[in-house]
Structure 1
């Protein structure tokens, strides 16, 4: 009987995976280097997130462009470019002038790859992924939405701070790119007249490899290969000499160490609490409100997903309780019964359009999760509005900070109220997607999406109406799917907007506007 149940769970996981794959996985953007809408020569004065200012990370002064060491570097560069193969040209074209986009694609790729729920052992027990034993079984990590948004936040914040430092040194030293110094060099990048020392691409490559290796340790070799390819392409493009790259790597190492030190103490290692802690949260809600969420899976996992994620350190909010919404309707109350009627109506009148919306926004197993979905939108706008790497990193940093803070606020709310999902309190209600392993109120999709939409509306005001409409659709999709109450979605949307205001407040003071 136990074996049969295990097989059933595996089949359900497979069906969920196939359903989630109906929507897009991370895409490779096939675009050439473009002329930046702005160069932002004052970008080195912007206020970073993790360090005091752009000058906080020091690098050696560059050699003069007339010095013998520099001229030797240029000759070495020309020799390398003269021996370029077709595959080299293709690689340089891939990395373009905006490596922020490429490393974000790699991050979403890894999130999707590791977004698979660890299944039960043969005896019905569960073993959690363990960073001390990433090979498992099960392998580490399980990149569920809280894990994914945290990885994206640390990646993009470190990239942003590293590039503020790079911009500071670029415009303080102002060493032009090799192809400007030597007209015989034919650059493979568009001429955006950004000083070459230190290499911003090298900062991004080093930061990204180090942060993502920490988050996805089994991918260390793959990430080293991508970093090496990226660094080589910086030279082959004609935009940097080796000393530019070396200086950029120094900045990348320093800022990624600072970011990883924060990550080590932010509380995430305790988020997946043991059963006694998880049970105590449920018991507290039962005493306080008269209800508790109970997992409806078969076999039932003993602990909900990351019960203590709500206690992880936030980026822009001092106290998570300040963003906790009012309680949901009491079970059996008129407001509750009215919502039951709404969900029954949706279930009985499931249209093709509602099913499409539910599936499009599912972002379930094997995908880049809801936060990844909003990173995908950000990439489209970055290319559309031709942002330079510094402004691209800023966009991703505030986007992912807001969504991580939103997720922390949402998980605090989920496990404080411990509200049951619809199929727990009314067995006549059905779902058209898998039921997540955590309480219902508020909706994570709604919070992530509203927070992401507000940041994108701030950065790209021309798109405000579009992104807010998407956030509303993402929220209602969970109701169409039978996974959430309507108040999970509406209050979750308000919660995401509220949390995003803290992040946008920070952004407005950084000097970039």
Structure 2
């Protein structure tokens, strides 16, 4: 990996065909490439199996109660406005992508560093007082990776549960029961009970409200809009939607119970704990990172994120990288030479790469960038909602695990950044307030790329090229050593393999 990255760097052949990515994809509903009738037997992440959450059996389509629901649906359809019809197509028949995009939008909105107080001190965002100031959360990359992981895992387990009951009860969609009911989506022969879209909506809203509490009303309005669209599509009656909501809420409750005890609440430490980590590293290695940002925050970003519970890696020691080069060692001095060369030759292409992958404040962060890629592949290959949720779940678990592994290394080794050790060195990508080794961009990106390469083997070369470009972009920006990048890339690959190994035995392949 080291040789590969350095050859690409020296050749200057990196490129990217994707720029200025919008948050919302413009795609029409489509016919799924597969239905996965056995999807209810796949192995979930949070619950034991697809039957772990119980719902009642639906009424038969020839029953009086179902016929009453059809009449109610026809009345709703007769009163639908043009705006209502547009909403149906805005949600599409793959709401997994749409709710993921909503999460990316919120991450970008809340990815803002809390400013200093008048006296120069900092007040941290507080979930007990989300309105602040400052507002909670600060959706930095570790926070974003966690929010996306819990969202996607809840969606995936919810979809397995929905599939279990769909093919257990096998109730036809309203437009098939009554030909007078219009159908707005592409034909997909999925049973209607429970509504998979309602599962996605309810689970997504519950998780995102917990992660972004100030957005509760906004999210609840989106949920109602989505649930209404599910009926207006002609694919569901109210009991389909109600059953899906039950599943979504219960799955989200299980996910949030895990989140409540995963250690994230302790990740942002007081200064005394941060100082102890710094001192421990200095005693081990004889170096320590110093925060050179202006204005300077007293504590680095989430020093104990490396102690948050991982999804598929047994412990952080399993993926902790080796000791970085000691300052003034031959490998270190070679890296200084490379960084000084890049600084003296900041070409238009290198600046473009550094800027494209910056994913800084006000963006959806590096984890969000890979979710955007995943969404595009999901649509390109016409995945159904179950497989879409599976893709995002395994990718985001791997990305979060990679972030945890990376942050463990950052604060275990506490390695200084180039701006601290190279006299007169300047960056073009800001000054992060956490240690250098390893690169978060590299670890997040490599983990995301490996999972996408597993699920979309046709795209393997492309996503791995993107991951290497993301890694070297931080070197071009002047904020990382090259060994931060290539070791971080290997770290992300190693971490992702644990999620891929789980995916290989979940029943989907």
Structure 2 length normalisation: TM-score? 0.96
**Matching of residues 425-440 of structure 1 within 5 Å:** 425-440=421-436
SS at match of 2:343: helix
**What residue number does 2:455 align with?**
459
**Matching of residues 159-178 of structure 1 within 5 Å:** 159-178=155-174
**Matching of residues 416-431 of structure 1 within 5 Å:** 416-431=412-427
Cα displacement string for residues 80-129 of structure 1 (whole angstroms, at most 9, x for unaligned residues): 11111110111000011000011011000000000000010000000000
**Matching of residues 108-123 of structure 1 within 5 Å:** 108-123=104-119
2:474 to 473, 478, 498: 478
**What residue number does 2:394 align with?**
398
Deviates more, 1:198-207 or 1:422-431: 422-431
Cα displacement string for residues 276-307 of structure 1 (whole angstroms, at most 9, x for unaligned residues): 00000000011100000000012321100000
Equivalents in 1 of 2:22, 2:298: separation in Å?
Answer: 32
Cα displacement string for residues 118-164 of structure 1 (whole angstroms, at most 9, x for unaligned residues): 01000000000000000001000000000000000000000000010
**What residue number does 1:5 align with?**
none
1:347 to 337, 343, 348: 343
Equivalents in 2 of 1:162, 1:308: separation in Å?
Answer: 30
Question: Is residue 316 of structure 1 aligned with residue 312 of structure 2?
Answer: yes
**What residue number does 2:498 align with?**
502
Question: Is residue 183 of structure 1 aligned with residue 164 of structure 2?
Answer: no
CA contact (8 A) 1:126 1:301 kept: yes
**What residue number does 2:266 align with?**
270
Structure 2: state its 5+ residue gaps: 1-17
Question: Is residue 232 of structure 1 aligned with residue 228 of structure 2?
Answer: yes
SS at match of 1:56: coil
2:38 to 35, 42, 48: 42
1:65 to 61, 66, 73: 61
Equivalents in 2 of 1:117, 1:492: separation in Å?
Answer: 24
**What residue number does 2:7 align with?**
none
Equivalents in 2 of 1:251, 1:161: separation in Å?
Answer: 9
**What residue number does 1:16 align with?**
none
Cα displacement string for residues 458-511 of structure 1 (whole angstroms, at most 9, x for unaligned residues): 000000000000000000000000000000000000000000000000000100
Give the ranges of 4+ consecutive aligned residues of structure 1 lying more than 2 Å apart after TM superposition.
22-27
SS at match of 1:273: coil
Deviation at 1:29, TM superposition (A): 1.5
Deviation at 1:26, TM superposition (A): 4.4
Equivalents in 2 of 1:249, 1:427: separation in Å?
Answer: 59
Aligned pairs, number:
492
**Matching of residues 139-178 of structure 1 within 5 Å:** 139-178=135-174
Equivalents in 1 of 2:134, 2:19: separation in Å?
Answer: 26
**What residue number does 1:288 align with?**
284
**What residue number does 2:8 align with?**
none
Equivalents in 1 of 2:368, 2:69: separation in Å?
Answer: 40
1:202 to 198, 205, 212: 198
Structure 1: state its 5+ residue gaps: 1-21
Equivalents in 2 of 1:260, 1:42: separation in Å?
Answer: 27
Equivalents in 2 of 1:300, 1:364: separation in Å?
Answer: 17
Equivalents in 1 of 2:286, 2:115: separation in Å?
Answer: 31
SS at match of 1:372: helix
Deviates more, 1:198-207 or 1:420-429: 420-429
CA contact (8 A) 1:26 1:368 kept: no
Structure 1 length normalisation: TM-score? 0.95
Going from structure 1 to structure 2, the CA distance change for 1:366 and 1:25 (only over 3 Å counts) comes to farther
CA contact (8 A) 1:355 1:481 kept: yes
SS at match of 2:51: helix
